[in-house]
Amino acid sequence: MTELKRIIKAGFLNFTRNSSISVAAVLQVVNTLAVISVIILLQAVLYFSLDTIKDKVDVTIYFNVGAPEDKITLLKDSISKLPEVDQVTYTTSADALKIFRERHANDYPTIAALDEIGTNPLGGYLNIKAREISQYESIANFLKSENALSLGSDTIIEKVNYHQNKLVIDRLSTIIGGARKLGFLLTLYLVISSIFITFNTIRLAIFISKEEIGVMRLVGASKMYVRGPFMVEGLIYGIIATFITLVAFFPVTFWLGANMTDFLGIDLYEYYLSNFFQMFVILLFSGIVLGMISSFLAVRKYLNK
């Protein structure tokens, strides 16, 4: 207990007495934590955008005017059962007309023409959303397959807009896949390089004490007693860096939230506030692990004897 107390005290003293080195080390840990924070926010933006785009992709089956309801229901049920399908919504021809009228409420000639016809010229339609973008193709294939045809659907379907959307869907799914892979690789690269730089900064800080580590051992200090204060210093680097990073991201995300929400599609300030606790835990954990492990490894090199 006394030893632990002494180790902690020595760590604090070293931290304050080597102030310029401490500042450099803290700033370097801040850099790493900032990279991690930026990546977390970027991931949020990326996933939010991808979800929005994915949400906009769908396949619609338009039915002939007067297609019997029972056949449509039969087709809807069999499509719902496909494992790739997330959601199927049916819009009846009456609803389709209502939506059409609402949309063209200010377009007098169109409404007048519609009134002139007297009957409903619009068929109903099924809107299908797949779980994954790549699955639209298999849904479209199902519609062309024997199973769907045997339900008599060929006689009621006017058109399926998948083939018109195919190019866009294919391209989107390539872009989304690529963005994920690139995002992951970029994250990996940035995190690894920051960790290396931080590790080396701390190693340099400890290199200065290289000879003293040997002296401490020669005057009879145990390895743990020599290493302990350095690890406490590492811990302090991590804690202080976490707080600096967390505080610095308030104005940064506030500015992004105020000025970039339309562009990014997501209010980063709100995201930061609502995920503050998770960010705090991730950064504190990363900062402490980075500081302590770097110190541990750096001292180990000079503790051979």
Partner 1 sequence: MIYFNNVSKLYKDSVALDDVTFTIGAGEFVAIVGHSGAGKTTLTKMILVDENPTDGTVFFESIDVHKLKNKDLTKLRQRIGVVFQDFKLLSNKTAYENIAFSMEALGKTDEEIKSDVPHVLDLVNLSDKLLHFPHQLSGGEKQRLAIARAIINQPELIIADEPTGNLDPVNTHEIVEILKKINDLGTTVILTTHDHGIVHSVGKRVITMENGKIIKDTKHSK
Instruction: Indicate the residue among 216 and 231 with the shorter CB distance to partner 1.
Output: 216
DSSP for 153-199, written as a single string: GGGTEEEETHHHHHHHHHHHHHHHHHHHHHHHHHHHHHHHHHHHHHH
Cα–Cα dist 2/59, whole Å: 71
CB of 14 to partner 1, least distance (A): 6
CB of 225 to partner 1, least distance (A): 6
Residues found near partner 1 in the complex (CB under 8 A): 2-3, 6, 13-14, 17-18, 211-212, 214-223, 225, 305
Q: Which residues of 276-289 are buried (b: 16+ CB within 10 A; e: fewer)?
A: eeebeebbbebbbe
Distances (CA, A) of 265 to 22, 34, 49, 50, 174: 40, 22, 7, 11, 21
Instruction: Indicate the residue among 119 and 304 with the shorter CB distance to partner 1.
Output: 304
For residue 160 the two structure tokens come to 């399926």
CB of 6 to partner 1, least distance (A): 5
Instruction: Indicate the residue among 183 and 214 with the shorter CB distance to partner 1.
Output: 214
Asked if 202 and 291 count as a contact pair (C-beta separation under 8 A), the reply is yes
Question: Strand (E) positions, the chain?
Answer: 59-63, 85-91, 125-130, 157-160
Instruction: Indicate the residue among 7 and 148 with the shorter CB distance to partner 1.
Output: 7
Instruction: Indicate the residue among 71 and 217 with the shorter CB distance to partner 1.
Output: 217
Asked if 128 and 58 count as a contact pair (C-beta separation under 8 A), the reply is yes
CB of 29 to partner 1, least distance (A): 21
CB of 222 to partner 1, least distance (A): 5
CB of 2 to partner 1, least distance (A): 7
Instruction: Indicate the residue among 11 and 123 with the shorter CB distance to partner 1.
Output: 11
Cα–Cα dist 229/14, whole Å: 8
CB of 206 to partner 1, least distance (A): 13
Asked if 69 and 75 count as a contact pair (C-beta separation under 8 A), the reply is no
CB of 215 to partner 1, least distance (A): 4
Cα–Cα dist 278/291, whole Å: 20
Helix (H/G/I), strand (E/B), else coil: 91 = strand
Instruction: Indicate the residue among 206 and 256 with the shorter CB distance to partner 1.
Output: 206
Cα–Cα dist 278/284, whole Å: 10
Instruction: Indicate the residue among 180 and 223 with the shorter CB distance to partner 1.
Output: 223
